[in-house]
Structure 1
Amino acid sequence: MRFVTQSLALLSLVFSIASYAETDFLLRGTWALKENTQSFQDFGQNHQRFEGDGLHLSQAVISTNQRLFDDWTLSGALNAYSDGEERLNVSQLYIKYRPLSASSIKSEVKVGAFYPAISAENTDIAWLSPHFLTNSAINSWIGEELRTGGVELSFRQNGRQVRSNWSWKVLASLFKGNDSTGTLLSWRGFALHDRQSLYNDRVNFLPIPGVIDEEKLDAPAWTEPFREIDNRFGYYFGTHVAYKRSAEIRYYYYDNNADANAVDPDRIYAWHTRFHSLTLRYLPRPDLTLFSQVLYGDTLMGENIVDNDFASAYVAAALNLNAMGLKDLTAAARIDWYRVSDNDNTTYDPNGSRGYAFTFSVKYDVTSHFFITTEWQLNSGHQENLRFFQPNEKYTEHLFQVALTAKL
């Protein structure tokens, strides 16, 4: 599987370069200043991505949308990082079929590996955020543990075609390969960062004694987010409703339909994970964007060995400062809240966590292709399993970043 996926990644790269006019290139170097605590990626307690201060290759992306025929498009994103386990591979690769039709209701089919269009925040190329260096808690988790490896069918109607102010879309999907979704929420909790898991990737977390102990759960202190364990299909369905171009609401229901009693030879467990997501986006005027998302769900592993509810929400705003005389500047702010509730009686594996985060970002457009972004974030909360590694369950994490982005 690793050979096949890496081969597809290289083919995607070659195909993109050969068709440069329809391809976006993005390179981002980030200087980060944070507490001297170890990142979860290196089996540490910190919920942020980078290990230590200094300069990091936070994003290197080739994103392509290539028209194969009139009705067929090949899309993909090849990512590279200086951190994590898998540092070069695809995050998305899929074919889209959109047949030409005289009807006002249009159909579309996607087949491959892609994100459900669940986010109002990650709307830039390759599922990046145009406003923040660090994603919300919700979309950090989606970028880590969620990807559709399957097929999605949708129907849509553009209001302009029927002389209406309202547009809509309905969709449904069947997929495989998200059986371990829920692992990170339960054993690490929500995190805030912008690193998307790549195919064949592995995400590490704190080695909790009750998790790694051979006499207890006997699981590794890592997960592979897109591993197929039980050979069952998961599904999701959703709807989008938009008013003109100024407001949109999206609702999704997701169920990976995993067999909570399944475990593979590496002791990677399947987690039955379900959630509801509601996303809002509103543009009260051209220079101001307001957006928000609420997520609520549950995850189960084993015969009530791990049984957790989880929830998160954020509210964000992005303001173009040109009207204030600050040319080429955009300011953005976001407030996050998140929680994981432990409902089981497995005393050696406490999973409860809760917290909040404040994020402030300012982006300066040096040119149409080069951008400088500064961002400050405070993330604070409680996590029950930290009691095994420190005197209490509290954490407070500060992060300051300066990033130079080139986009061609």
Structure 2
Amino acid sequence: MRRSPLTAAVLALFAPWAHAEGDWLVFGHVAAAASANQAPDSWSQGGVGRYLDDDARLSAHIGINWQPSLEWELMIHARADTDSDGNAQALGLVETYVARNVFLDHGSSLRVRAGQFFLPSSREAIDPLWQSRYQLSLSALNSWIAEEYRPIGVDVAWRNDPESASELEFGLTAFGGNDSSGTLLAWRGFSSHDRLSVLGEVLPLPALPTLDSGFAGQRDDGSKPFGPDLDGRIGYAARIRVGQRERFRLLASLNDNRGDRELHRGEYAWATRFWQFGAEWRWNESWTLAAEHLQGRTGMGTQTGPHVDIDYRTTYALASWQFHPEWRASARWERFAIDDRDGVQEDNSDRGHGPTLSVLYSPSEHWRFGLEWQHLNTHHAASSLIGTETETAGQVVRVEARFLF
């Protein structure tokens, strides 16, 4: 079988993978969480509510990291969820990649990863296993990343000398397997939670009439964000990060999955392109400020037939105060919007804004307890088509006990 140039290059790069013994690290957490909300039915149940189910759940994340040498690394990240009745909700892989570090002159280095991975953009999910350091939930921006955007491909990053006071990184990514990203934004809107989709998982879509008529070819059980590539077209991402170590960072990235907008095996390859910007400032040992902005557009279908086209944008700003070694209080304010551009199907416009307040208590290195309140004022134009008011505002109180290992 003839290999593509990209495949051949990857195999050549990782052929020397060492079989020698190395450092193994197994880590993760188990969390018991409960929430009570006043909001429309959850998106996880096929509604347009912004939050997860109004009940208790258990979740577990486990990471396995093997470093046979300074040059090589293998990383596996898996998660499992259950509902309040003990029924499994999701079990699978979040990230799996092999990385090689190439050390260059003057202390700089190249880091090459191959597999499925998060790109280093989030200013919230900066703890191991893509967990928020500051709150129980993620912003609408990073909730969407957690749901639908996680490249499957090759990432190359150049970094300057880690001993330098300044920080500089350039990154390029070639990827596939993210062709359906944009589906949830267009047909459901933004949401807020801490749920990371796993490889091959199918997420529910609202029961819109157009999914049974104009887009009857779409699989009827929902949308699969991550799986085999649909259209055979390689997407790309490019990023830059600058800053002063342990003080502040500025980030910018461009992401484009280059979807062909056509139907493939029950899924549309959405043409999704967006810019993302981030900033982080550690004022002192107690205070951290962070913000991100994302904007782009996505669409599917042919212009002469049923199709969807939207513009989307979302911004959040976060302030976190660690007023005691065991206590952290954080506040986030965010805004999001989706503008319908096609005008031929249902109105996919979506709006929302509101605050999130959290308190985290970590009495030891193995335990963390959290309490959070969130209120979003939201409007989703198409919700009337499934028997829900277009004003989808709601609030939620969350509690969580987490054991870390």
TM above 0.5: yes
2:334 is aligned, of 318, 330, 336, to: 336
Match of 1:288 in 2: 287
Matched, 1:366 2:366: no
Which residue in 2 is equivalent to 1:32? 35
Deviation at 1:217, TM superposition (A): 4.7
User: Does the 8 Å CA contact 1:208/1:221 hold for their aligned counterparts?
Assistant: no
Report SS of the residue matched to 1:395.
coil
Give matches, 1:375-386, under 5 Å.
Answer: 375-386=372-383
Asked if the contact 1:151/1:174 (under 8 Å) is kept, the reply is yes
Q: How far off is 1:32 after superposition?
A: 1.0
Question: Residue 149 of structure 2 is aligned with which of 142, 146, 149?
Answer: 146
Partner of 1:142, secondary structure, is: helix
Q: C-alpha distance in 1, partners of 2:198/2:224?
A: 10
Specify the alignment match of 1:122 in structure 2.
125
Identity of aligned residues (%): 26
Aligned to 2:264: 264
Paired residues of 1:86 and 1:198 also in contact (CA < 8 A): no
Q: Per the alignment, in what secondary structure is the counterpart of residue 393 of structure 1?
A: coil
- Displacement of 1:102: 4.1
Equivalence for 1:315: 317
**Partner of 2:343: helix, strand, or coil?**
coil
Deviations along 1:156-184, one digit per CA (max 9) or x if unpaired, are 103634xxx32100010100100001000
Map 1:229-244 to 2 at 5 A: 229-244=230-245
Cα distance, 1:99 vs. partner? Answer: 2.2
Contact 2:23 2:67 in 1 (8 A): no
Q: Is the 8 A contact 2:80 2:88 kept in 1?
A: no
How far apart in 1 are the matches of 2:198 and 2:79? Answer: 8
Q: How does 1:83-98 map to 2 (within 5 A)?
A: 83=83, 87-98=90-101
How many residue pairs align between the two structures? 377
Q: C-alpha deviations, 1:90-147, integer Å up to 9, x for none?
A: 1000011002344332111000110111101101111110111110001000000011
Counterpart of 2:349 in structure 1 is 352
Contact 2:113 2:156 in 1 (8 A): yes
Summarize the Cα distance change of 1:292–1:362 in structure 2 as closer, same or farther, 3 Å threshold.
Answer: same
Q: 1:391–1:376: structure 2 CA closer, same or farther, 3 Å change rule? A: closer
Cα distance, 1:85 vs structure 2: 8.0
Q: Which secondary structure does the structure 2 equivalent of 1:184 belong to? A: helix
Give the AA of the match of 2:259: A
Cα deviation per residue 1:271-297 (whole Å; 9 max; x = unaligned)?
A: 000000000000111111100000010
CA distance in 2, matches of 1:394, 1:287: 38
Which whole-Å deviations, capped at 9, do the CAs of 1:306-345 have from their partners, x for residues lacking one? 11100000000110112xxxx6210011011000100112
Q: Indicate if the aligned counterparts of 2:24 and 2:64 stay in contact, CA closer than 8 A.
A: no
Q: Distance in 2 between matches of 1:238 and 1:202?
A: 29
Indicate whether 1:184 and 2:187 are aligned: no
Tell me how far apart the structure 2 counterparts of residues 338 and 381 of structure 1 sit (CA, whole Å). 9
| Rounded Cα–Cα distance in structure 2 between residues aligned with 1:102 and 1:179 | 38
What SS class does the counterpart of residue 393 from structure 2 fall into? strand
TM-score (norm 1): 0.88
Residue identity in the other structure for 2:33:
T
Q: In the alignment, what sits opposite 1:299?
A: 298
Take 2:404 and 2:390, find their aligned partners in 1: how far apart are those partners? 41
Instruction: Tell me the equivalent position of 1:276.
Output: 275
Partner residue, 1:169: 169
Change (3 A) 1:404 1:86: closer
Does structure 1 retain, via aligned residues, the 8 Å contact 2:372–2:398? yes
Query: Hey, what's the Cα distance between the residues in 2 that align with 1:20 and 1:257?
Result: 39
Q: Distance in 1 between matches of 2:196 and 2:92?
A: 11
What is the one-letter code of the residue matched to 2:285? P
Whether the 8 Å contact between 1:86 and 1:201 is mirrored in structure 2 is: no
Query: Is 147-156 or 84-93 further displaced after alignment?
Result: 84-93
Change in CA separation of 1:20 and 1:397 when aligned onto 2, cut-off 3 Å: farther
Contact 2:81–2:88 (CA under 8 A) maintained in structure 1: no
Distance 2:226 2:74 in 1: 21
Q: Give, in whole Å, the separation in 1 of the partners of 2:388 and 2:238.
A: 44
Deviates more, 1:383-392 or 1:140-149: 383-392
State the AA in 2 paired with 1:288: W
| Alignment partner, residue 17 of structure 2 | none
Which range moved further: 217-226 or 67-76? 217-226
DSSP 3-state at the match of 2:268: coil
Deviation at 1:25, TM superposition (A): 2.4
Tell me the residue number matched to 1:79: 79
Aligned to 1:6: none
Secondary structure of the residue that 2:392 maps to in structure 1? Answer: strand
Letter in 2 for 1:107: L
Task: Determine whether 1:387 maps to 2:384.
Answer: yes
Partner Cα separation in structure 1 for residue 265 and residue 336 of structure 2? 33
Partner Cα distance (1:188, 1:273) in 2: 16
The answer as to whether partners of 1:341 and 1:352 remain within 8 angstroms in 2 is yes
Contact 1:340 1:353 (C-alpha < 8 Å) held by counterparts: yes
Give me the whole-angstrom Cα distance separating, in 2, the residues matched to 1:400 and 1:108: 41
Per the alignment, residue 252 of structure 2 pairs with 251
- Say if 1:85 and 1:202, in contact at 8 Å, map to a contact too: no
TM-score by length of 2: 0.89
Which amino acid in the other structure matches residue 382 of structure 2? N
Distance 1:313 1:246 in 2: 22
8 Å contact kept, 2:24–2:65? no
RMSD across aligned positions (CA): 1.9
CA distance in 2, matches of 1:132, 1:193: 10
User: Is the Cα–Cα contact under 8 Å of residues 39 and 392 in structure 2 kept in the other structure?
Assistant: no
Q: CA deviation at 1:367?
A: 1.6
What SS class does the counterpart of residue 203 from structure 1 fall into? coil
Q: Which runs of 5+ in 2 are unaligned?
A: 1-20
Amino acid at match of 2:354: A
Aligned to 1:9: none
* Aligned with residue 48 of structure 1, among 46, 51, 58: 51
